[in-house]
Structure 1
Amino acid sequence: MPGIRLIAGLGNPGAEYLRNRHNAGFWFADVLATGAGERFAIEKRVHGAACRVAVDGEPVRVLKPDTFMNESGRAVVAALNYWKLTPDELLVVHDDLDLSPGTARLKFDGGHGGQNGVRDIMAQLGHGKFHRLRIGIGHPGDRNRVTPWVLGNPSAADEDAMLDAIARALDVLPLAVVGDFSEATKRLNTKQDSVPGV
């Protein structure tokens, strides 16, 4: 399987959404770009802000769609077409209600899990055969409270936990970029405190 050449961090554009749980994908993209010394610039052809980073010497495009979450597929498909990439070279980074804050998981294919950005990408592509990085945001415990939960800001402790999960995901990103997804998944899914010598 080829390595990752496009990372799409999902979220909603605008200052009022900046720290929302739903913007965990944007958080990941921002931390990655900042760490690489790169800045995002608006790319109208891909309906978002984009930059190019080097991950262990490998070139990777990073995209933050400006379409709002529910229309993420328009930006992602435009980016794949414009940069002549295939869906299996795509990593979509998004928030996940089913994972607790501090948890991050890699997966390939599967359903959308109720995440509207992933749902739209799957609808636009006609399938789900792309990589996902799920950043846990926890669940409010009541499905009627999901919308205000995802569009709300996490507590300081939850935000720290989410940023820790993002940092651990960034640690295994070089493996995903070269196509070693099994090792990347194994390392990410192993809790830091259970790894000998860490």
Structure 2
Amino acid sequence: MQDPQTPQIDYVVVGLGNTGEAAASSRHNAGFLFCDYLSNCIHMQQHLLATGGSVDNPTLPTHPPRYVRRNDLGADINDTVFTIFPGETLASHSDVAIAKASKKQSAEPVSRTLRLLIVKPIWGMNDSGVAVRNVLLAYNIANPSKQLIVAFDDLNTLPGSIAIHTGTDLGAIRGHKGVESIVQHLGNSASEFIRFRLGIGRPHGDTKALQFVDASFQKENRELDLFGYALDLTAQALQYYFASNGDSKSTKKKFGKSKKLPLNKLQQVSVQIALARSLVVVPYSISADSALYLQMESLSFPFETVGV
């Protein structure tokens, strides 16, 4: 039974991938990379709030965010909190949603804090559904269709873009074994969860799809820059989804457009996110020559072993 003093889980964010050094920087691990990226973004926010700092004059946290390895559930879990502020990058829609949530018709919108589980299944991509089902049961998640968000790589979405889907029909992502496993183990009644598809595009020439997804992101053709943009775009979309109290339709309309990005847009994005995101690291070193290397330099997350 949950301690009545412990806040309920608001959302469960699952990233799909495979464990092990060989898979760490692969395209198929886009979901894991997003989990680490999101964990660091939130950890940085917590640090700035605790120290009174800002992105204009930041200091680095002294330690990275912590995942707890739950062998009994089959997942690495970062149990964390995220604060949504009125007007923070999301403008009017978020302010309206937050104002409604506060139930104060005449008051100014207030900030609110959400408790999140950031989850990486560790029993392999094809068995992701077992771990997800275990986590939902262990943490008493009552409404997976609203509270469960799954992020993963998608061949059918252009690099640098994201697609957002809900409902039980897998459609274009049929064949992604991780997502299929989740649908299989949750059943139709709980499988209308929101899906964030991080675009990796399709291979060129004679390269097979399996070989392509298992290979690492490359610096050629700005691929790593495009993936970095997709990470940031997904984080923005997730923030919007939270601020709108789980409005998947408006989130999809605003962010889920798969289109080719012009190079000047990428250069603009690089400048915009250079400060905040250069302080946000993910635990995989990909290429020192990449424009995103500062955001993706290597570090190891500490783990606390729990379970059996």
Q: State the TM-score, normalizing by the size of structure 2.
A: 0.58
Structure 2, unaligned runs of 5 or more:
1-8, 44-64, 85-112, 266-271, 273-308
Question: Match of 1:135?
Answer: 198
**Deviation at residue 106 of structure 1 after TM alignment:** 1.3
* Pick aligned residue for 1:66 from 83, 100, 122: 122
1:44, CA displacement in angstroms?
2.1
- One-letter amino acid matched to 2:186: L
1:47 is matched with which residue?
74
How far is the alpha carbon of 1:96 from its aligned partner?
0.4
Tell me the CA shift for residue 143 of structure 1. Answer: 8.7
Equivalent residue number for residue 33 of structure 1: 39
Superposed CA RMSD in Å reads 2.2
Q: What one-letter code is carried by the residue in structure 2 that aligns with 1:131?
A: I
How big is the shift at 1:30? 0.3
Structure possessing the higher radius of gyration over alpha carbons: 2
- 2:233 — aligned with what? 168
Separation in 1, partners of 2:18, 2:182? 15
Distance 1:59 1:150, change over 3 A: same
| Correspondences of 1:111-130 after superposition (within 5 Å) | 111=170, 112-127=173-188, 128-130=191-193
Point out the structure with the larger strand share.
1
Q: Quick one: distance in 2 between partners of 1:5 and 1:114?
A: 26
In 2, distance between residues paired with 1:106 and 1:73? 19
**2:28 is the counterpart of 1:22:** yes
Report the secondary structure of 1:92's partner residue: strand
1:54 CA drift (Å): 2.3
Per the alignment, residue 107 of structure 1 pairs with 165
The code of the aligned residue for 1:187 comes to K
Which residue identity is paired with 1:11?
A: G
Number of residue pairs aligned between Structure 1 and Structure 2? 192
Secondary structure at 1:169 match in 2: helix
How much has 1:101 moved relative to structure 2? 0.9
Structure 2 residue aligned with 1:158 = 223
Shift of 1:87: 2.0
Distance 1:99 1:172 in 2: 16
Distance 1:84 1:96 in 2: 29
Q: Distance in 1 between matches of 2:256 and 2:195?
A: 14
Name the CA distance, whole Å, in 2 between partners of 1:91 and 1:143: 34
| Pair 1:4–1:59, CA change in 2 (3 A) | closer
Aligned residue number for residue 15 of structure 2: 9
Q: 1:87 to 1:17 in 2, by over 3 A?
A: same
TM alignment of 1:167-186, pairs within 5 A: 167-177=232-242, 178-186=245-253
Q: In structure 2, which of residues 144, 161, 167 is the aligned counterpart of residue 87 of structure 1? A: 144
Distance in 1 separating the partners of 2:121 and 2:206: 26
Asked if the contact 2:194/2:248 (under 8 Å) is kept, the reply is no
| Identical-pair percentage | 28
Q: CA separation of 1:22/1:79 partners in 2, compared to 1, >3 Å: closer, same or farther?
A: same
Displacement, 1:142? 6.9
Instruction: Verify the 8 A CA contact 1:45 1:82 in the aligned structure 2.
Output: no
Paired residue for 2:156? 98
